[in-house]
Structure 1
Amino acid sequence: MSGVFLSKGLFPSDFFQPTVDFILNCQQDDGSIPWFEGSYADPWDHTEAAMALSIGGEWDAAAKAYQWLADNQLDDGSWWAAYKAGEIDNGERRESNFVAYIATGVWHHYLISHNKNFLKRMWPTVERAIEFVLSLQSEHGDIQWAVKPNGSPKMDALITGCSSIYKSLECAINIAVTMGEDSAEWVAARESLGDALRNKPERFDRTWESKARYSMDWFYPVLTGVLSKTQSQARLKERWDEFVEPELGCRCVSDEPWVTIAESCELTMALLAAGDHARAVNVYSWLHQWRLEDGSYWTGYQFVQDVLWPDEKPTWTAGAILLAADALTEYTPAAKLFTEVNLLSEGKSVPTSSTLIK
């Protein structure tokens, strides 16, 4: 199916229920959500899929997914790169943006469920995770992208990864404020990180080839609130023709004829953040030609060879589909998480929605 045009107040629950069910059916008994059946789970993509469960009203399953993270957190607050069948599948590194993303997921679930007990239960896990991430922040504000097995940092930073952390810090600060905890150091760290992302390009890609060919480096500073609306509009306009294929979606990298559904969903939300609602609706409408009968979505499409590639239907792609749909329709109280910056200050609480989705 293609040509699904969404607008505020029009969330097609029946259409998306199979997608929610697809993620739910992939979830393991321990709460982990692998990429697909038989694959591994990584902390970031696991969280992306868990957020979709919250949107779909599967609150218990979402809470179980976050509990899996709590149960597998290492003493230093981090997680390994991947897990499979209850075992470490990739113990080569622990990535800072993977670790930070739990704050985004936990805050997202709280915005939807308003379950304060859940927030209290997850607070120690979030606090340890954020402290681990900030231990990797340099004096210039950037955050090292990973640590080696022995805990020593891999000394370089990624624009996409640090942008993701920037949003996670917003969420972590909001959790701390809601819990009545001091967040002053996190606020300062977020300000320093934002300054690095906006004004210190030399702090990124220092030891490898620039990642500028990746579309995420292009739109993630927009998606995560690093840039103002005016800056965001200019940034998206500058490289639009490099990355966007009309009627197909957003390329993963500028020099490969391959559009990916998850990046296209994230671009949809970035467009909303930049105030470009019309193009957000349009880009999202292209994506459902890659949907299968069970509600899952292919990773991407290679449009020169006319092949769906790789032969995978990831849970995190399904998660991105639901996050973008929520952002377009404003279906849940968390709908604006990736399209607006809403940093709570002490004494300020989250507005209670009169209508909660379950």
Structure 2
Amino acid sequence: MTSPERTERLVLPGVLTAGQAELTVAGIAAVQRGDGAIPWFRGHHLDPWDHVEAAMALDAAGEHDRAGAAYRWLARHQLPDGSWYAAYADGDAAAPTDRARETNFCAYVAVGVWHHYLSTGDDAFLDRMWPVVVAAVEFVLRLQQPGGQVGWKQEPDGTPVTDALLTGSSSVYQALRCALAMAEHREEPQPDWELAVGWLGHALRRHPERFLDKSRYSMDWYYPVLGGALRGAAAKERIEAGWDRFVVPGLGVRCVVPNPWVTGGESAELALALWAMGESDRALDILKWIQHLRAEDGMYWTGYVFEDDAIWPRERTAWTAGSLLLAVAALGGDDATAQVFQGEELPLGLDPDCCEPGVI
């Protein structure tokens, strides 16, 4: 069981007590396999993005050995081209259930590795994981398109999908900036990455037409803010424009409109985005609202269909609990979590927004 001292940073009035935080961290730890893999829940599949999200939550709770084991699992099972499969059967690398390779899934290792380093100061860990991050970034950038956006996956037969997702590319943007922070720390310049980050950020800010229209999904609404591409007035304008469409006061955030379904993961992520843009009060409200999804074991139900007054699906995922803990950690002032999500200290790359009019 996690010690109460380690979860003091996760105390947030109206959201989590130290004892409740301890129970949630223990719930994520119970899902983790002995080999370090963190599936959605025992008996379900693992995907690399949510595996990292859960590992980051463990680091935020001071469970650094467990988080390190999760990153070692990724290092052992990275494919020769730098990628990972989209899904594995309960974390079993010998049994992938989806052989596509999604770019945001593969890039997110950079966010997790940098977060772990900031949490621990472990240079030996960073040395071991640097080649893993480099290979993952190079895989992702092979799918970047001329307009800056990143194709969302490679098919199982190796065919690249050039269509880009706004949510996925926003997550890749955050990951590439974390990778650049690592490169700067190691004094290993990566000018190609700097250019890629700049073009991707420009596409996210200026060219919505370069992405598939998934505007029904709340993630497409808040992810440009969560991933750090939008800050200041632009972030405020975007959040206000979609607030009434996606937010259900007292319950949380819809996953997709018009479905009467609020989800814990999207709600916690929106709270994290609000915190990153300086709106901690609204972030706290949302985290309070979704406590109706908390189960007796400290984990969180994926979602709630409010027209039917029904929990659905009947699953409690490590990543839903993880996203909640990361939002709480950010609001509570955890430095590592603040650095990777607020992004003020992350490199911006070469910004094409500064080019002469008409060049882009």
Structure 1 counterpart of 2:305: 302
Q: Which residue of 2 aligns with 1:145?
A: 152
> Could you say which structure has the higher helix fraction?
2
Query: Compared with structure 1, are the counterparts of its residues 197 and 332 closer, same or farther at alpha carbon in structure 2 (3 Å cutoff)?
Result: closer
Moved more, 83-92 or 285-294: 83-92
Query: How has the CA–CA distance of structure 1 residues 71 and 26 changed in structure 2, closer, same or farther, with 3 Å as cutoff?
Result: same
Distance 1:139 1:124, change over 3 A: same
1:43-100: CA deviations, max 9, x gaps?
0000000001101111111001001001000000000011123423324410000000
What is the rounded CA distance, in whole Å, between the counterparts of 2:168 and 2:121 in structure 1? 28
What SS class does the counterpart of residue 88 from structure 1 fall into? strand
Q: 2:46 aligns with which of 41, 47, 50?
A: 41
- Residue aligned with 2:88, SS: strand
Change (3 A) 1:345 1:306: closer
Q: Please state if 1:292 is matched with 2:295.
A: yes
Q: Helix, strand or coil: the match of 1:146? A: strand
Amino acid at match of 1:66: Y
Question: Could you tell me how far 1:332 is from its partner in structure 2?
Answer: 4.3
Q: Is the 8 A contact 2:150 2:162 kept in 1?
A: no
Question: Residues 332 and 201 from structure 1, CA distance in 2 versus in 1: closer, same or farther, beyond 3 angstroms?
Answer: closer
CA contact (8 A) 1:11 1:329 kept: no
Q: Could you say which structure has the greater relative contact order, defined with CA pairs below 8 angstroms and 6 or more residues apart?
A: 1
Percent of aligned pairs with the same amino acid: 48
Deviation of 1:334 after TM superposition, in Å, equals: 2.6
Give CA-to-partner distance per residue, 1:192-247, whole Å, 9 cap, x none.
00111111222111xxxx20000000000011110121100010001100000011
Among candidates 286, 303, 306, match of residue 283 of structure 1: 286
CA distance in 1, matches of 2:51, 2:304: 23
Match in the other structure for 1:312:
315
Displacement of 1:290 after TM fit?
Answer: 1.1
Match of 1:268 in 2: 271
Instruction: Give distance in 2, aligned partners of 1:167 and 1:200.
Output: 18
Counterpart AA for 1:105: G
Displacement of 1:162 in angstroms is 0.1
Structure 2: any 5+ residue segments left out of the alignment? 1-9, 350-360
CA RMSD in angstroms comes to: 1.8
Cα–Cα, structure 1 residues 155 and 227, in superposed 2: closer, same or farther, change >3 Å? same
The answer (yes or no) to whether the contact 1:55–1:332 under 8 Å persists in 2 is: no
Partner of 1:220: 223
Given that residues 11 and 328 in structure 2 are in contact (C-alpha distance below 8 angstroms), is that contact kept between their aligned partners in structure 1? no
Rounded Cα–Cα distance in structure 2 between residues aligned with 1:147 and 1:345: 26
Structure 2 counterpart of 1:68: 73
Task: Please list every run of 5 or more consecutive structure 1 residues that lacks an aligned counterpart in the other structure.
Answer: 347-358
Partner of 1:122: 129
CA distance in 2, matches of 1:176, 1:276: 31
Deviates more, 1:160-169 or 1:327-336: 327-336
Task: Count residues with an aligned counterpart.
Answer: 337
Matching residue of 1:6: 12
Query: Is 1:337 aligned to 2:343, yes or no?
Result: no
Residues 308-348 of structure 1: CA deviation (Å, up to 9, x unaligned)? 000100000010011000011113433342133322599xx
- How many angstroms apart in 2 are the aligned matches of 1:87 and 1:260? 31
Q: Tell me, yes or no, if structure 1 residue 53 matches structure 2 residue 58.
A: yes
Post-superposition Cα deviations, 1:255-278, rounded to whole Å, max 9, x if no partner, equal 100000010000001111222221
| Cα 1:124–1:5 shift into 2, 3 Å | closer
Partner residue, 1:32: 37
2:254, 2:100 → 1: CA distance?
27
